[in-house]
Structure 1
Amino acid sequence: MYFILERELKKNSITREQLAEKLGISISTISCKLNDKSEFSIKECRKIKEILNFQGSIDELFKTE
């Protein structure tokens, strides 16, 4: 689970559905990725960082431990 990513989504009031829409992928795909059943592409990681206006690194945002 991506604890920091989930925290930032809540902080920015962005739902999984909204994130999926912004990335141009399905809700089931975003759910799989957020549940660590498949991986985010680097392009998706960069886009999410931009959407959230996250000031830290991509590594920090997608940390799983």
Structure 2
Amino acid sequence: IPMVLGAGWQYISADLADLTAKAFGVAYFSTIQVRVNSSCRLFRLYFAGREYADIELPPFLRLLQE
């Protein structure tokens, strides 16, 4: 996935079912491995069955802190 990221922490949400359907023309089944290059620092990685609104997330995962 080509991206341009700014300085600091980034929030990235990727719809794997949509991505595999558009890129390869097949249905997404499961993720076996996630590879992160050594130049990246990863704080947390989550998999979810659907995309959640910010208000539905627990406070420590929200982008918009109150």
Instruction: State TM-score, norm by structure 1.
Output: 0.26
Larger proportion of helix:
1
* Higher Cα Rg, which structure: 2
